[in-house]
Amino acid sequence: MLDKKKFEVINHTADIGLKVFGKNICHLLENAAYGMYSLLCDIKKIRNKHLFKITFLEKNDFELVLVTFLNRLLYHTSTKFFLFKKFIVKINHLSNKKDFVKVIAECYGEKYCSKKHGPLMEIKAVTYHNLKIVKKNKNNFSGTVFFDI
């Protein structure tokens, strides 16, 4: 099921940003990742050929979780040359470490091929500039994230 609106691009002097939407925090993370890869390349050309799992612990702060998740994805793109298109994110609250959450993400995509995917926009990092996640109500989250390009 496709949402009506996953993200909007925000133009900025030295960076580029996204306004991201989701029905919950996991959905917002999935849409942020989708938006980031839409900036990197023509996402329609990426096939969901391989599954790559990303798991990490982070402080129970959704802005930090968002930055860590997107930076981990960028790391795999810049070091292993993987592009991703589909994301399934789960967040587990830890009973023994209440200040932390465990993020488990299934990321689907394929190896970058210049002939197929064309040139990539270079995103150096996800920044903390104007980083914000807002829970509007039970089923409505939005966030803003900027990328250093």
Encode pLDDT of 12-24 as tens digits. 666 899 999 999 9
Encode pLDDT of 71-108 as tens digits. 999 999 999 999 999 999 999 988 888 899 999 999 99
Instruction: Return d(Cα 14, Cα 29) in angstroms, integer.
Output: 23
pLDDT category of residue 10 using cuts at 50, 70 and 90: confident
Sign, Cα dihedral of 100, 105, 111, 113: negative
What pLDDT is recorded for position 121?
A: 92
Bridge partners, 103 (sequence order): 56, 91
Say whether pTM exceeds 0.85: yes
Q: Does pLDDT of 2 surpass 60? A: no
Task: State phi, psi for 64 to the nearest 5 degrees.
Answer: -65, -40
Q: Give the residue-averaged pLDDT of 113-121.
A: 94
Instruction: Return d(Cα 62, Cα 132) in angstroms, integer.
Output: 9
Bridge partners, 21 (sequence order): 142
Fold of 21-115: Archease, Possible Chaperone; Chain: A; domain 1 (3.55.10)
Amino acid at 25: I
What pLDDT is recorded for position 30?
A: 98
Q: Average pLDDT of the chain?
A: 92
Q: What is the DSSP secondary structure assignment for residue 41, as one 8-state letter? A: S
